[in-house]
Structure 1
Amino acid sequence: MTVVKSVLSAVPRWLTEPVPRGRVAAFRTLVYLFVAADLLVFTPWIRDKASIPGDLYQPLFIGRLLPLPTPTPLLVNIIFWALLLLALAAATGRAPRALGWAVFLLYFEWMIIAMSYGKVDHDRFGLLIALAVLPTAGRARHGDRESTEAGGWALRVTQIAVVCTYFLAAWAKLRFGGIEWTTGSVLARAIIRRGTDLADLIAQVPYLLIAAQFGIIAFELLSPLVFVVSSRWRQWVVAFFYSFHLVTIATITISFAPHLVAMTSFLELERLRPIHRLRRLARRPDGDTGPPEMAPETPTAQPSPAVP
């Protein structure tokens, strides 16, 4: 009973473990800038949904529950431009609650529009959770070393969503494909459809794809261990996560970009302070961006040589 009580009391402390405000500020800027990039670079095809007949719109459960309107050209374009402008404004860190909630609601509707035509991607779960919790983190400035429990909670919940993406992906594979998923031709079909030259070389190695499928299942099922290792080893585990996606991009060209952004919640982002440095440079007089110069030394008189 004592063990149970100690565990229950430790969970809230773990969920709200303080982090530097500078880490929250950097994460917030990165997430909102990605939302803007997502609209323009990664998923511009979502705007094409405006020209699709409304009869083909099959909303997700949440879209039927609320209910949300059927996308029209006017609705899609209003959401696109409003989301783009508000995301850029939110990236500055100003009005974190008002702008944060607005961006979350608009992006949530944007994703419902994107995924209500037959295909649902699971790489955006962590990003959506990050957008949902960032407004609760409060104000945070780049380079600020003061600790915040609210910011720690926002990052921790995002981390949990990232790990759930892995673990539940393995659960879905075993639920719908059974253990036969590991010995099937899943990766072979993916390489045929969208493989690279590197993937073609790998596919020629006997049984390597089968071994890779076993490895994927093991990796996804064991992903929650990132929370129980020491902070030093945690960075190595996260580095392995990123390397896994690097190989995925290099072989079957699946980027998981939104997931990779959400996964930066594990990183010590406060060590990267480009915005903070730019502000310091901007405050220097006369636009001087170089290091402060030392005052020239006054030459000292040299003693005259002694006359013999």
Structure 2
Amino acid sequence: MTGWLTEAVPRGRVAAFRTLVYLFVAADLVVFTPWVRSRVDVPGELYQPLLIGRLLPLPTPTPAVVGVIFWVLLVVALLAATGRAPRLLGWTVFALYFEWMIVAMSYGKVDHDRFGLLVALAVLPTAGRARHGDPTRTEAGGWALRVTQIAVVCTYFLAAWAKFRFGGFDWATGSVLARAIIRRGTDLADLIAQVPHLLIVAQFGILAFELLSPLVFVVPERWRPAAVGFFYSFHLVTIATITISFAPHLVAMTSFLPLEKVRPVLRARQFLARRSRPDGDPTPTAPATSLTVPDPAVDPAPSA
């Protein structure tokens, strides 16, 4: 079990995953959750902190506090994406983003698509230094990725458990998807809803997918990217039909992928280098130099 938890991975994979995660944190602040800054405009008595917020305890957020968290977290996340000071910057990003999420989720709605990302932020500082493209393997980095993978799978499996806990078997036979389509469905969802019994079949399929998600760990290594691709296709359909993105979860799920093989900066440099060569010549060549060796049978010997 210990060997599985700490299975070594290339340091380049850890570096790529870390850069992706921290860049998403910065994007999350300005694209996906900028509304958190407006939450503090409501009366303080509407702030009902999560259990962790009550245990710490954390103060009721004010515009000044949330503004400081926003700007400091934005700058630190961008710095952490470079790979510098992975422990200091990593722990700082985790602490600030954790507080950002407590503020966001303490006004009545808790999103479970953040669990995998929060776990990734918590374990990445333990992976130590890692450079892009480095093929040397690290057990510490492997542990960080494995724990993130477990969190991703738990998000699915525990979602199924929650459905049975609060909705019972009626969740599968009820009108859950129908209500979701009425609230936020797309034109594609409207077409699907017209097919008799298809939504009920889809609800059974969702439960089966979530309950069977742990099997991704026993899939042979060569087939695992295909299994993870199926996970992504599930969310693609979700976005296309009921416009729920699960963006943080999708970022955490890249912990399953060989990210060290995707090096956009290197690919861009190679592309620009090819474009800059004349006539599309893929390899620059040095000018040819001809050396003529005189043939004594033909050329006369030089006179003294």
TM-score, shorter chain, exceeding 0.5: yes
Q: Which residue of 1 aligns with 2:286?
A: 295
CA distance in 2, matches of 1:269, 1:120: 30
Deviation at 1:275, TM superposition (A): 3.7
Query: Which of the two has higher C-alpha Rg?
Result: 2
Change (3 A) 1:280 1:68: farther
Which ranges of structure 2 fall in alignment gaps of 5 or more residues?
293-304
- 244, 247, 259: which one aligns with 2:249: 259
CA distance in 2, matches of 1:273, 1:206: 46
Q: For residues 67-78 of structure 1, what are the structure 2 equivalents within 5 Å? A: 67-78=57-68
Change (3 A) 1:279 1:80: farther
Deviation at 1:296, TM superposition (A): 1.8
CA distance in 1, matches of 2:290, 2:114: 66
Percent of aligned pairs sharing the same letter: 78
Q: For residues 169-188 of structure 1, what are the structure 2 equivalents within 5 Å? A: 169-188=159-178
Secondary structure of 2:191's counterpart equals: helix
Give the partner amino acid of 2:238.
T
CA RMSD of aligned residues (A): 1.9
Question: What TM-score do you get using the length of structure 2 for normalisation?
Answer: 0.91
8 Å Cα contact 1:143-1:276 kept in structure 2: no
Change (3 A) 1:143 1:279: farther
- 180, 183, 191: which one aligns with 2:181: 191
Q: Which residue of 2 aligns with 1:211?
A: 201
Which ranges of structure 1 fall in alignment gaps of 5 or more residues?
1-10, 302-308
- The one-character-per-residue Cα deviations of 1:180-214 (angstroms, maximum 9, x if unpaired) are 10000000000000000000000000000000000
Deviation at 1:43, TM superposition (A): 1.1
Question: What TM-score do you get using the length of structure 1 for normalisation?
Answer: 0.90
Deviation at 1:293, TM superposition (A): 2.4
Q: Which residue of 2 aligns with 1:50?
A: 40
Q: Which residue of 2 aligns with 1:106?
A: 96
Secondary structure of 1:145's counterpart equals: coil
**Which 4+ runs in 1 deviate beyond 3 A?**
275-282, 288-292, 298-301
Give the partner amino acid of 1:205.
V
Query: Does 2:69 align with 1:79?
Result: yes
Q: Which residue of 1 aligns with 2:4?
A: 14
Q: Which residue of 2 aligns with 1:23?
A: 13
Q: Which residue of 1 aligns with 2:238?
A: 248
Number of aligned residue pairs: 287
CA distance in 2, matches of 1:35, 1:279: 26
Deviation at 1:299, TM superposition (A): 6.2
Q: Which residue of 2 aligns with 1:124?
A: 114
